[in-house]
Chain A
């Protein structure tokens, strides 16, 4: 039932967007360009250096492309969370509360950002390039690894967007720092997390589990680790959604008691 409603939301979003085809096209191209300069940064660094901590150019591209794909998918369907401060500020969230449907579903439905397709396209091109050059011995478990990475990573970014939205109930100022965990992770997740040193690896394993969806499964994919355990690590990151959801619930509760 909720799926039917969600699809209805997506359809109305797309119909709205198609009223502005030029703008849609330009924004999609812009999305492509913004991440393209990140790619160029990597490209030129590898003109100078043959590898970074043992990861070659194509391996880094593979890593970056998966991260970028996860981020783009999350941003595409969870853009409503990303724009949530506006919803609180303009009182649009009141409208959501006077409707007999789950609030999260309605917020997600409020915006479906199809323009992120520009960024996804780039991610897919890099992914194909990375795969063709990385000399991976494909097995069923490795195909599953990629699949799980995508699921776990998308869930992780969704969780982070949800935290951002939940924080809007407490303050509308200073939310900029959340960019470190969303945009920053996309930006710096272009390199395998291991290159940032041990402490960063610990932080991204136990606090915000980027490494579970990026570094460890990547090692398995590239044949540097063989334990099957690594295949399923990305799925563990889905648990991250639980505290995010609780924070959201708390935020809604607070909104209802403060009314602003």
Chain B
């Protein structure tokens, strides 16, 4: 555990060093969120009855999405891992006394965690002080908040395990870049990054909610904005745990297959 913790510290202080980058990131995400909210306001003003969520729920959804962007975006993959697979440096990693899956897992979590902790607070603070309909609302109840934190971490773990599935798949493909781009655009869409899942037609939404992609950002963001009933929350958390276990075990399996492949072919 110690080695993972020190890795996290290293990442965090690297992140701090690039303060301008962090600051710019905050500004970018803030502008992005604000524009998104303005779009929904326009639609809301046209026909509020067709709105599947309350307006303030959408606003909270978007601010939380921007604040924890680093947790959930799939295009933010570890290029170092990709490169090491492509150029064969991964064989060095295999010599170290660490399981490659665990290492990737913690490394990705550490990266995303440090990026998000640096960037989330300014966004959260500013967003909660915005005037009424545009501001981030406090959570509906303490239980909601507690569940939000849990599902946020679960969602992060699901996202990371999905990303590692992609890293391992690159061992078996000729074009990692192509795989990455196909995967990224698909996941973004199904996870509710483009529009929140409730905005889809009901049948499609029901189906999408069962997919692993819905266990990423969708659950936490909607629990925070109190968009789910108790029953829905329960089944969403169960699904998250189910997908986490499934994805991790698939990933581990694939990873050990890849390890074998590397040791046979020499990378």
A residues lining the B interface (CB < 8 Å): 22-23, 26-27, 29-30, 33-34, 36-38, 40-41, 44-45, 47-53, 171, 173-177, 179-180, 184, 187-188, 191, 195-197, 200
Contacts and interface: CB of A to CB of B under 8 A. Distances in A.
A197 B41 CA distance: 10
Nearest to B178: A26
13 contacts: A30-B182, A33-B186, A41-B195, A44-B199, A44-B200, A48-B199, A49-B50, A52-B46, A53-B46, A174-B21, A177-B24, A188-B36, A191-B42
A79 B251 CA distance: 36
A228 B188 CA distance: 42
B201 A47 contact: yes
A171 B23 CA distance: 13
- State the 7 A-B residue pairs at the shortest beta-carbon distance, nearest first: A26-B178, A30-B181, A174-B20, A174-B24, A173-B20, A195-B42, A33-B185
A34 B185 contact: yes
Contacts of A188: 35-36, 39
A27 B178 contact: yes
Contacts of A196: 35, 38-39, 42
B46 A45 contact: no
Interface in B181-211: 181-182, 184-186, 188-189, 194-195, 199-201
Interface string B11-36: 00000001011011101100110011
A50 B177 contact: no
Given A23-B175, A23-B177, A180 B189 contact: no
B80 interface: no
Contacts of B174: 22
A34 B20 CA distance: 28
B133 to A, nearest CB: 13
Contacts of B178: 22-23, 26-27, 29-30
Given A40-B189, A41-B194, A180-B28, A27 B181 contact: yes
B24 A50 contact: no
B43 interface: yes
Given A33-B186, A195-B39, A200-B38, 13 more contacts: A22-B174, A26-B177, A27-B178, A30-B185, A33-B185, A37-B189, A41-B195, A44-B201, A49-B47, A50-B46, A176-B21, A176-B28, A184-B28
Nearest to A173: B20
A175 B20 CA distance: 9
Contacts of A52: 42-43, 46
B139 interface: no
A184 B35 contact: yes
Contacts of A200: 38
A179 B177 contact: no
A184 B21 contact: no
B39 A33 contact: no
Interface string B156-180: 0000000000000000001101100
Nearest to A54: B46
Contacts of A174: 20-21, 23-24
Nearest to A26: B178
Contacts of B36: 188
A189 to B, nearest CB: 10
A201 B175 CA distance: 43
A44 B195 contact: yes
B60 to A, nearest CB: 19
Contacts of A41: 189, 194-195
B267 interface: no
Given A26-B181, A176-B21, A184-B32, A38 B194 contact: yes
B135 interface: no
A36 B184 CA distance: 12
A173 B186 CA distance: 30
A184 B174 CA distance: 32
A180 B24 CA distance: 10
Contact of B194 (A22, A26, A40): A40
Interface in B28-83: 28, 31-32, 35-36, 38-39, 41-43, 45-47, 50, 52
A188 B194 CA distance: 12
Given A26-B175, A45-B199, A173-B18, A51 B27 contact: no
Given A30-B182, A174-B21, A53 B42 contact: yes
A195 B35 CA distance: 11
A175 B21 CA distance: 7
Contacts of A33: 181-182, 185-186
Given A188-B35, A191-B42, A176 B24 contact: yes
A174 B26 CA distance: 10
